[in-house]
Chains A and B, each alone.
Chain A
Amino acid sequence: MERKFICIRCPQGCEIITTLDGHGVITELTGNSCKLGPEYVKQEISDPRRTLTTTVMVEGGTHPLCPVWSEKPVPKDRVMELAAALRGIKLNAPVEINQIVLANALGTGINVIASRSIHGGI
């Protein structure tokens, strides 16, 4: 079976064409420009993951929201579930960049952290 992928590991977006045998094992792979390509395809077949970026509410800061991101990609089918969990979180200013906002998110072992600092407001 032939399957096409567009690698999302870098902005180049290589189109990768793979041939899979009956057990989903890659027998042929072309179109990648670097080693990230095969790595991405393997992951995408067995356990697709995405980095989630969103915002959480901040109380008492210069801004009402703080942008956050999952330190590592989380399982793709749990992205919306994680976004919902983060909607329930309220931080208190000041917030420091890289501060853990949600530890071990949904039991994945992955932390959600702040991607900027928010100073205390007036």
Chain B
Amino acid sequence: MNKTYDVIIIGAGPAGLAAAIEAKKTGAKDVLIIERNDEPGGILLQCIHNGFGSVLFKKDLPGPAYAYNFITEAKQLGIEMLFDTMVLDITASRKIYATNSHEGFLEFDAKAIVLAMGCRERTRGQIRIPGTRPAGVFTAGMVQRLVNIEGLMPGKNFVILGSGDIGMIMARRLTIEGAKVIKVVELMPYLTGLRRNYVQCLQDFNIQLSLSTTIKRIIGKNRVEAVETVKVDDCLNPVAGTEEMIDCDSILLSIGLIPENELSKKSGVQLDPLTGGPIVDENMATNVAGIFSAGNVVTIYDLVDYVSKAGFIAGKNAAMYAAGQTAVKKYVEVKAGDGIRTVIPQKISVERGLVPLSNEVLFEMRVTKEYPSKISVDLMDGVNVIASHKEKYARPAEMITMKVDWNDLTTKLSKDTAGLVVKIS
């Protein structure tokens, strides 16, 4: 008595909601989202700051308002949502096993699946900060949830490690709520979040930022009492004699996000060691037939608008797959070349069996280092430049999006190309 759905989506965050909406609009009849939280919206619900929607809506919305647009549309379209439910396992034959406290063990069959589990935060253990292990060391997203949703203030005097966007946004948020943010320290010689957040979150509130600085050790028995910071050299090694003791009761970590792919691995989906997410083609299809993927589970995005866009692509293609309409005959690989750290999609279909799904191919890339002046991002097939994209500058913190027309790309491609490379020149 397993229920069979055309498309099942794992996760009701921005990627999952967009995928469900587009799957339904493309013609999928039964669309189900399985979500472990008790309501849809994902991380947007705790991102109460504005800055969302500039690409899709040409508006500057707070996170919950951005999510509201998608939640409302999903409900109007009659998309089923199952909350408080944890997916335990996914198989390559698209069986889904899940559980919740009111129905027990659940089994579903899906003609197509969209993985939209998002990401999780890197923790203290993953960067091995020495010192004692007192209470008061939090990840930025954890504090964001406590302050914005639960209404709890976890500390009074904060030191923030990492200049990522959530870290800076929380520096402002904590200041507005009456806490003191003593300093933000960043290991890298550059800001790792968006520059506008430096202006409106740190500069506006006179919060000091120290680049090329990290935490050497955490001090405190039961609760954090102080941190010792230290400067680092060009090779990121601590410089003796530059230590500084800062009294504080809380440390907030904004040190990166990791795509959450435990389920993907179980289903046989191949991951890219650089992005930490599934290897996908331009249709957001993974290597497992009928399993698609979108959002921060694939690669860490800067802007939710592009997460939603990826969700639309994944949802549309999942619906078409469920209806038996897609067949890709041949792929070429896309590799990160000089100056590029990560790129999605990692492969492009060069022959499509049926109707072209979408002709717009979005390459999302991150660079390896800062490029202060004009650069050109070139997509090469070994010999020729297939497509080129100009940027005034490039920073590792800011994702580069290059739009390429699929017809254009495949026409220009030499017949027996071994693969594509994106590089900076």
Contacts and interface: CB of A to CB of B under 8 A. Distances in A.
Interface of A: 6-8, 10-13, 15, 33, 50-55, 57, 63-65, 67, 69, 76, 79-80, 83, 97, 115-117
Contacts of A76: 204
A30 to B, nearest CB: 11
B56 interface: no
A50 to B, nearest CB: 6
A107 to B, nearest CB: 20
A54 B48 CA distance: 7
Contact of B65 (A8, A12, A116): A116
Closest 5 CB pairs of A and B: A116-B64, A13-B195, A67-B48, A115-B62, A8-B196
Nearest to A57: B151
B176 interface: yes
Contacts of B196: 6-8, 10-11, 13
B26 interface: no
Given A13-B194, A67-B48, A54 B151 contact: no
A116 B68 contact: yes
Interface string B60-92: 111111011000000000000000000000000
B148 interface: yes
A97 B68 contact: yes
Interface-central residue, A10, A80, A115, by most chain B CB under 10 Å = A115
A54 B50 contact: no
Nearest to A69: B62
Contacts, number: 79
B199 A8 contact: yes
Interface of B: 45, 48-51, 54, 60-65, 67-68, 147-151, 176-177, 194-196, 198-200, 204, 302-303, 392, 398
Interface-central residue, A10, A53, A83, A117, by most chain B CB under 10 Å = A53
Contacts of B64: 67, 97, 115-116
Given A11-B194, A80-B176, A115-B48, 11 more contacts: A6-B198, A11-B54, A11-B303, A12-B398, A50-B204, A53-B48, A53-B49, A54-B48, A54-B176, A69-B50, A69-B65
A66 to B, nearest CB: 9
30 contacts: A6-B195, A6-B196, A8-B200, A10-B54, A11-B51, A11-B54, A11-B194, A11-B302, A11-B398, A51-B60, A53-B48, A53-B62, A54-B48, A55-B147, A55-B148, A55-B151, A63-B149, A65-B150, A65-B151, A67-B62, A69-B48, A69-B62, A79-B176, A80-B176, A97-B65, A115-B61, A115-B65, A116-B64, A116-B65, A116-B68
Given A6-B195, A33-B392, A65 B149 contact: yes
A86 to B, nearest CB: 10
Given A65-B149, A115-B64, A116-B68, A55 B48 contact: yes
A15 B64 CA distance: 29
